Structure 1
Amino acid sequence: MSADLTAVVVAALGVAGTLVSPLLAQRAALKARQVEAAIQRADRAEDLNEERRRELISQRRQTYADLNARARHYRSAALEHLAALLGVRGTADRTRLELDGARNAFAECFSQAQMIVPDEILELSAEVSRKLGWGYRMLARAAEESDLDEASDYIENVVISAIFAMRAAMREDLGIVEGSSAEGASREASGD
């Protein structure tokens, strides 16, 4: 190669490099912006998922509190009605209306909870619902037959144990307590 040809090739490469270098820099900057945008999208998605998780936990916590409160109120109304049937306090007509109201409130809360709570809690709350319903029927039969001892024992012991087990599982699900929910419920029911 001659010196002139070499000089022309070097000059052409220099001009080409000068012309191509801004294009390559622009392409690198575009790629960097795309990577940054992808990172920001991922961060936003992560933040959105975290917010949804917090909302779900908040909704679940509220549902658990409502379900527990309604179950306990239903049981208390049953005990008040039982006391009225025994002639200890209140009138049976008034306490029956309160019992029916508590029963309906629990049924409504339980219906809503079925769409929110996980399966383990759903099973335990369904068990509470069955036991409260059975206690309700026992009270109705006992009132007709004037045999309230079995209904009293059932509502005071069996129903509350089911409510304690449900509440312990709810607390465990929310991360409030650790360990077996059944252990906690049995300790609480036995008074330990």
Structure 2
Amino acid sequence: MSAVITLVVAVFGVMGTLLAPLLAQRAQAQVSKDDFERQQLAAQTQWDREQRQANLAQRRACYVATNAAYRRYRVEIMKFLWCSHQGGVTEQDRDVLEQARQAHHAAFAEAQMVASRAVLEQLDVVTQALSEAYRKTQCLHEGNPDPNGSFDEIRDYLKWLWERWEEMRSVMRVDLGIESSVDD
């Protein structure tokens, strides 16, 4: 009996000695696998964070450029309207307005690729209003004004447009995660 016990103990000892490297290797493989998965998760999390920051920076730059282009276009329409009202539109006035209009179109095209749906909705409203103001101003200048296209009515329309502008800017700020302030 003690020989059997000795033999069983010896067999288990030899098996333990033979299996120990295999079990250690398997445990090490599991640890390596878990470590690799943690590293992959950390790398994916970092990549996601960098992508969100890059997207935010891209949207911010686009919104700044869009806001500037829209503002310039509105100002140039107002200047052209005033010059037309005073009877002194020059070729340079026409060129400056056209440049502002083209810059506006380029900024809007970029925003269509980058902006959120909420911002695009606001940009559409302001773009349509700017286009209408441009059209009315050109009709007035050419001596063929709309029924509601007098100098004062167009000027009032451009003032109304400023209110839409403030709303557009507020939606942009919210989209960028900037709380809209009372001063906006």
Structure 1 length-normalised TM: 0.87
Query: How far apart in 2 are the matches of 1:59 and 1:97?
Result: 30
Residue aligning to 1:15: 14
**How many Å separate the matches in 1 of 2:16 and 2:180?**
67
Contact 1:74 1:106 in 2 (8 A): yes
1:138 maps to 136
Q: Is the 8 A contact 1:81 1:92 kept in 2?
A: no
Whether the 8 Å contact between 1:142 and 1:148 is mirrored in structure 2 is yes
Q: Please say if 1:45 is aligned against 2:49.
A: no
Is contact 1:128-1:163 (8 Å) kept? yes
Q: Which runs of 5+ in 1 are unaligned?
A: none
- Report the count of equivalent residues: 179
Q: What is residue 58 of structure 1 aligned with on the other side?
A: 57
What amino acid sits opposite 1:104 in the alignment? Q
Letter in 1 for 2:164: A
Q: Secondary structure at the match of 1:114?
A: helix
| Residue matched to 2:83 | 84
Contact 2:170–2:180 (8 Å) recurs in 1: no
Q: Is the 8 A contact 1:85 1:92 kept in 2?
A: no
1:14-62 per-position Cα deviation (integer Å, ceiling 9, x unaligned): 1111111121111111110110000000000000000000000000000
Find the aligned partners of 1:27 and 1:137 in 2 and give their Cα distance. Answer: 76
In the TM superposition, residue 116 of structure 1 has moved relative to its aligned partner by: 0.9
Cα distance per residue 1:74-100 (max 9 Å; x no partner): 001111111211228x64432121111
How far residue 178 of structure 1 moved from its aligned partner, in angstroms, is 4.5
Counterpart of 2:126 in structure 1 is 128
Aligned partners of 1:154, 1:29: CA distance in 2, in Å?
A: 74
- The question of 1:148 aligning with 2:139 is answered no
In 2, Cα distance between equivalents of 1:23 and 1:47: 36
Contact 1:142 / 1:151 at 8 angstroms: preserved in 2? no
Match of 1:108 in 2: 106
CA contact (8 A) 2:73 2:101 kept: yes
TM-score, with structure 2 as normaliser? 0.91
In structure 2, the gaps of 5 or more residues are none
Task: Find the aligned partners of 1:178 and 1:28 in 2 and give their Cα distance.
Answer: 55
Q: 1:172 aligns with which of 171, 174, 183?
A: 174
